[in-house]
């Protein structure tokens, strides 16, 4: 079994192990990918109308 692990700095860097995982599956070799997703912040349309939204947005961008 192939094990792919680790985090990648960019979406482009993330695609390489994904392609390797798919190739492994096509070859019939079991494989698994173990990684923690990157930190995320999500705002909705309602959030944009709330007081403090701009400060929260800046804080998220700077984190």
pLDDT tens per residue, the chain (63 residues)? Answer: 888 888 877 878 888 888 888 998 899 999 888 888 777 889 999 999 999 999 999 999 888
pTM for the complete prediction?
Answer: 0.47
**Over the chain, what HEC string results?**
CEEEECCCCCHHHHHHHHHHHHHHHHCCCCEEEECCCCCCCCCCHHHHCCCCHHHHHHHHHHC
Residues 1, 30 contacting (CB under 8 angstroms): yes
Interatomic CA distance for residues 29 and 21, integer angstroms? 9
């Amino acid at each position: 079994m192939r094990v792919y692990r680790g985090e990648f700095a960019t979406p482009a860097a993330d695609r390489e192990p994904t392609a390797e995982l798919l190739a492994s599956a096509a070859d019939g070799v079991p494989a698994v990918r173990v990684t923690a997703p990157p930190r995320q912040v999500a705002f909705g349309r309602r959030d944009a109308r709330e007081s403090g939204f701009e400060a929260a947005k800046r804080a998220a961008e700077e984190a």
